[in-house]
């Protein structure tokens, strides 16, 4: 099927010309080239390479741009743009009331003109420099905020901060695509999150309570085509990718709570969201080399374990038992959000199951299904559900320890042990076990920590 | 492809100028041709992270006894007209769900509804902030509280109202701009 000309142009623009040059890369090219250059005389002496080849290798590395310098330039470009932008906002916020209105407006709107001028130059000359693009994006983002603020300040326009944030972010959005700026995308995600928090958490109104920031979802989605074309499509996993994925995951985690109607179903929404994160981390597209750079996995796993530990207390189950939750299930904000997130998790589970066997998937990805079963059990028999949550936590902990041992990863192994410690610590407060028994449990886990770590280190030494 | 980037860039620039431009145009048209009203007020001293220091104003003329038995709802869009009381301060005269055919009126929302159809209806006055130079905001607050202790002093906001929009142009204490009052306070040694 032939795409319409405009759509096709847009797609090609995003797909091809859009592929960025990975300036910030995790490859330690400089260190490697230095090492090679150091080895050259030895290689010539040992007759591995000829003198001429050695000279050609040396010339090759000398002619290459130094990535460390590039990286520094990008960092300084970003910092410069951010600091200058924020500095001007603060200076204008001083509100120089000696200045006439027109001059105040002129000064407030000038940075926007300057930012657009630089952006225009970058676009017209097709400048590829990451430092320029990122720095200009960061500066322009704050220049936009300033342009709206100065008019508000001069004409004493009523302050609805949520609306201001929304206008600011929607005007910032095109900068991401025009400049292909990851920093602007990060600022956009932070701004959209701020908007949702402002509307959902901070603007409590006594007549209508908290409002639901419905526009948050669509606004966040508008940044996804950039992430797809910038990182996923070309398969680039650089520092910008890590930062953006962390921000996106944290934003969703923080803002899901704003879709709160009554109470209890929010937990279901969160369990499904965390499971969805883990399922996403199972997809090849989102795989990273280190655990900590995979925001989906870290937040998903910590979220599930944290939620389960909360659920191991009595109060949640008493709450759903007392409130005859089944009656409240229909027609609530939370119901639709929890339903939507759960459906997405189920769909993702099917997607992952097409490439992996059920046993090969991280066990915690199934947490949302377990929780749904426990939820309906808890409505009738809260005590049994609470007891089973403890069991589920224990199973996940053992699974994590085994996973750590299998992957020879001390971090994962200790995480599993920490989950058990967390569970025991939680039970420390709400059980009638004797002090001696609780003490023995702690000693047991402590010994477990030592034993597991020593075992792992020994295993590594043997393997080496 | 470059053409597409340029089109997107032009769209971006236009959008980024339209928003502040529209705000300036709307406010400027009220400032030049709106009717002046004086709203009695009480300021305090908060701060806005982007626009700097301001004083928040809460006005007395923010409710009206509604005519008829229209069931007013919270957040409903309404049109309010004003007149002057015997002391020269603004007083709401009518509230309706449709804009008046002529004259100055304020387009706003219902902020408070009491039970009972004849109870007063509260409405938002969307000019609750007056921005001041950083160093003057807390001084302005002091000046206001001085005015409160002294019953002969009166604080009010000068508001221009046009066809729907309103712009707060100054805050006065005893017919002197609060900015002038603060400047005079700074000149006088304590």
Tens digit of each residue's pLDDT (9 = 90 or more) over A231-245: 888 888 888 999 999
Q: What is the pLDDT of residue A210?
A: 65
Tell me the torsion sign for CA atoms A243, A244, A245, A250: positive
Quickly state the pLDDT bin for B190 (edges 50, 70, 90). Answer: very low
pLDDT class of A263 with cuts at 50, 70, 90: low
Give dist(CA A443, CA A338) in Å, integer: 40
Q: Which helix H or strand E contains B91, and what residues bound it?
A: strand B90-96
Q: Please report the pLDDT score of residue A276 as a whole number.
A: 95
Overall average pLDDT of the A195-219 stretch: 82
The pLDDT assigned to A115 comes to: 93
* DSSP secondary structure letter of residue B74: T
Q: Are A273 and A359 in contact (CB under 8 A)?
A: no
Q: What does the pLDDT read at residue A18?
A: 41
* A93 CB within 8 Å of a chain B CB: yes
**Nearest CA of chain A to the CA of B120: how many Å?**
16
State whether A208 and B12 contact (CB < 8 Å): no
B127 assigned to some structural domain: yes
pLDDT confidence band for B189 (50 / 70 / 90): low
Report yes or no: A41 at the B interface, CB cutoff 8 Å: no
Give the total residue count for chain B: 190
Query: Is B131 within a domain?
Result: yes
Dihedral sign, Cα of residue A196, residue A199, residue A204, residue A207: negative
This model of the complex carries an ipTM of: 0.76
Instruction: Please check whether residue B74 lies inside any domain of the structure.
Output: yes
Verify whether the Cβ–Cβ distance A171 to B131 is below 8 Å: no
Is the pLDDT score of A146 beyond 50? yes
In a domain, B27, yes or no: no
Confidence of residue A369 (pLDDT cuts 50, 70, 90): very high
B64, B183 in Cβ contact below 8 A?
no
Report phi then psi at B83, rounded to 5: -140, -175
Nearest beta carbon to residue B5 from set A13, A16, A208:
A13
Banded pLDDT at A393 (limits 50, 70, 90): very high
Task: Map residue B128 onto helix, strand or coil.
Answer: coil
Tell me if B53 and A95 make a contact (CB, 8 A cut-off): yes
* Inter-residue contact B72 to A207 (CB < 8 Å): no
Under an 8 A CB cutoff, do A175 and B15 touch? no
Beta bridge partners of A255: none
Taking CB atoms and an 8 Å limit, are B168 and A150 in contact across chains? Answer: no
Average pLDDT over residues B140-147: 68
Average pLDDT, chain B: 80
Interface of B with A (CB under 8 A): 1-6, 8-9, 11-13, 15-17, 19-20, 23-24, 27, 31, 48-54, 74-75, 111-112, 126-134, 136, 167-169, 179
pLDDT interval class at B51 (50, 70, 90):
low
Cβ proximity of A132 and A91 under 8 Å = no
Q: How many CB atoms lie within 10 A of CB A385?
A: 22
In terms of Cβ atoms closer than 10 Å to its own Cβ (0-12, 13-18, 19+), residue A336 is middle
Give the tens place of pLDDT for each residue, B73-109: 888 888 999 888 888 888 888 888 888 888 889 999 8
What is the Cα–Cα distance from A258 to A216, expressed in whole angstroms? Answer: 10
CA-nearest of A159, A164, A90 to B129 is: A159
Task: Please report the sign of the dihedral spanned by the C-alpha atoms of residue A196, residue A208, residue B41, residue B29.
Answer: positive
A188 touches chain B (CB under 8 A): no
Assess if residue B15 is contained within a domain.
Answer: no
Query: Could you tell me which of A131, A128, A173, A120 has the C-alpha nearest to residue B9?
Result: A120
Residue of A nearest to B73 (CA): A207
Enclosing domain of residue B40? 35-187
User: How far is residue A280 from each of residues A106, A232, A247, A347, B126, measured CA to CA in Å?
Assistant: 48, 13, 15, 11, 46
Q: What is the pTM of this model?
A: 0.80
More confidently predicted of A85 and A17: A85
Residue B183 lies in a domain: yes
Mutate to test the interface with B, among A18, A145, A157 (most CBs of B within 10 A): A157
Give per-residue pLDDT as tens, A56-79: 888 877 766 565 557 778 888 888
DSSP annotation of B61 reads -
What does the pLDDT read at residue A1? 42
CB contact at 8 A, A25 and A15 = no
Structural domain includes residue B8: no
CA A53 to chain centre: 46
User: Could you tell me if A19 lies within 8 Å of chain B, comparing CB atoms?
Assistant: no
pLDDT recorded at residue B41? 74
C-alpha to C-alpha distance for A105 and B20, rounded to whole angstroms:
10
The total number of structural domains that make up chain B: 1
User: What is the model's pLDDT at position A396?
Assistant: 93
Helix (H, G, I), strand (E, B) or coil at A149: helix
Q: Kindly report which listed range (A10-14, A65-69, B14-18) carries the lowest average pLDDT score.
A: A10-14
Closest CA to B27 of B120, B126, B115: B126
Asked if residue B187 has pLDDT above 70, the reply is no
What percent of chain A is predicted at pLDDT more than 70? 84
The total of other beta-carbon atoms located within 10 Å of residue B188's CB is 7
Are B12 and A145 in contact (CB < 8 Å)? no
Counting residues of chain A whose pLDDT is more than 90, the rounded percentage is: 33
Question: Cβ neighbours of residue A424 under 8 Å, at least 6 residues apart?
Answer: A438, A441, A442, A445
What are the phi and psi torsion angles at A455 (to 5°)?
A: -60, -45
Residue B129 forms part of a structural domain? yes
* pLDDT confidence bin for A22, thresholds 50/70/90: very low
- A-chain CB neighbours of B111 within 8 Å are 207
For A345, B78, B80, B97, B110, the CA distances from B116, given in Å and listed in that order, are 49, 19, 20, 19, 15
CA distance to A88, A91, A147, A308, B78, per residue, from A107 (Å): 10, 11, 9, 54, 36
The Cβ of residue B123 has, within 10 Å, a number of other Cβ atoms equal to 23
Q: Do A147 and B16 touch (CB under 8 A)?
A: yes
| Among A391-400, A441-450, B148-157, the least confident range | B148-157
Is A94 in contact with B6 (Cβ distance < 8 A)? no
Residues 6+ apart with CB under 8 A from A436: none
């Amino acid at each position: 099927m032939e795409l319409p000309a405009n759509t096709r142009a847009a797609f090609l623009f995003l797909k091809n010309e859009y592929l960025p040059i990975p300036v910030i890369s995790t490859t330690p090219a400089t260190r490697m080239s230095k090492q090679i250059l150091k080895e050259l005389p030895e290689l010539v002496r040992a007759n591995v390479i000829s003198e001429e080849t050695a000279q050609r290798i040396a010339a090759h590395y000398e002619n290459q741009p130094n990535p460390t310098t590039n990286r520094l330039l990008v960092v300084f470009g970003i910092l410069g743009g951010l600091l200058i932008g924020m500095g001007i906002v603060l200076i204008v916020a001083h509100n120089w009331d000696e200045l006439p209105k027109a001059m105040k407006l002129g000064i407030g709107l000038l940075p926007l003109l300057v930012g657009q001028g630089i952006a225009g130059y970058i676009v017209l000359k097709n400048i590829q420099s990451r430092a320029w693009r990122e720095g200009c994006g960061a500066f322009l983002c704050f220049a936009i905020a300033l342009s709206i603020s100065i008019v508000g300040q001069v004409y004493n326009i009523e302050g609805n901060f949520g609306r201001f944030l929304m206008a600011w972010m929607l005007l910032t959005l095109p900068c991401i695509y025009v400049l292909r700026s990851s920093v602007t995308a990060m600022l956009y995600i932070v701004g959209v999150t701020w908007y949702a928090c402002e509307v959902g958490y901070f603007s409590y109104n006594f007549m209508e309570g908290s409002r639901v920031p419905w526009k948050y979802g669509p606004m966040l989605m508008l940044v996804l085509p950039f992430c797809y074309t910038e990182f996923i499509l070309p398969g680039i996993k650089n520092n910008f990718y890590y930062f953006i994925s962390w921000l996106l995951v944290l934003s969703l985690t923080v803002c899901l709570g704003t879709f709160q109607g009554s109470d209890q179903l929010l937990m279901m929404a969160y369990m499904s969201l965390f499971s969805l994160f883990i399922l996403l981390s199972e997809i090849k597209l989102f795989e990273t080399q280190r655990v900590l750079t995979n925001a989906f996995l870290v937040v998903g796993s910590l979220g599930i374990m944290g939620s389960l530990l909360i659920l191991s207390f009595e109060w949640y189950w008493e709450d759903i038992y007392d409130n005859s939750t089944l009656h409240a299930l229909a027609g609530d904000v939370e119901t639709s959000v929890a339903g939507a997130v759960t459906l997405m998790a189920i769909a993702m589970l099917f997607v992952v199951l097409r490439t992996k066997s059920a046993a090969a998937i991280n066990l915690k990805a199934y947490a949302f299904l377990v929780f749904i079963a426990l939820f309906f059990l808890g409505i009738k028999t809260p005590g049994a559900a609470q007891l089973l949550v403890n069991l589920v936590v224990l199973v996940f902990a053992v699974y994590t320890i085994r996973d750590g041992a299998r992957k020879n990863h001390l971090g994962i192994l200790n995480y599993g042990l920490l989950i058990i410690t967390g569970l025991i610590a939680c039970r420390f407060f709400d059980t009638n076990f004797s002090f001696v028994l609780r003490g023995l449990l702690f000693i047991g886990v402590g010994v477990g920590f030592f034993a597991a770590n020593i075992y792992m280190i020994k295993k590594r030494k043997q393997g080496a | 492809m470059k053409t597409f980037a340029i089109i997107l860039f032009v769209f971006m620039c236009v959008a980024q100028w339209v928003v502040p431009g529209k705000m300036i145009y709307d406010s400027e048209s009220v400032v030049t041709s709106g009717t002046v009203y004086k709203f009695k007020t009480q300021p305090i001293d908060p701060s806005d992270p982007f626009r700097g220091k301001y004083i928040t104003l809460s006005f007395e003329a923010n409710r009206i006894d509604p005519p008829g038995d229209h069931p007013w709802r919270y957040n409903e869009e309404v049109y309010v007209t004003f007149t002057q009381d015997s002391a020269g301060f603004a007083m709401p005269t009518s509230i309706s769900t449709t804009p008046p055919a002529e004259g100055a009126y304020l387009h706003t929302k219902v902020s408070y509804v009491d039970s009972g159809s004849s109870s007063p209806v509260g409405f938002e006055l969307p000019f609750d902030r007056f921005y001041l130079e950083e160093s003057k905001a807390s001084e302005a607050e002091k000046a206001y509280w001085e005015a409160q202790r002294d019953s002969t002093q009166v604080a009010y906001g000068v508001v221009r109202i046009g066809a729907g929009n309103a712009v707060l142009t100054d805050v006065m204490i005893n017919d002197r701009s609060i900015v002038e009052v603060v400047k005079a306070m700074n000149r006088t040694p304590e």
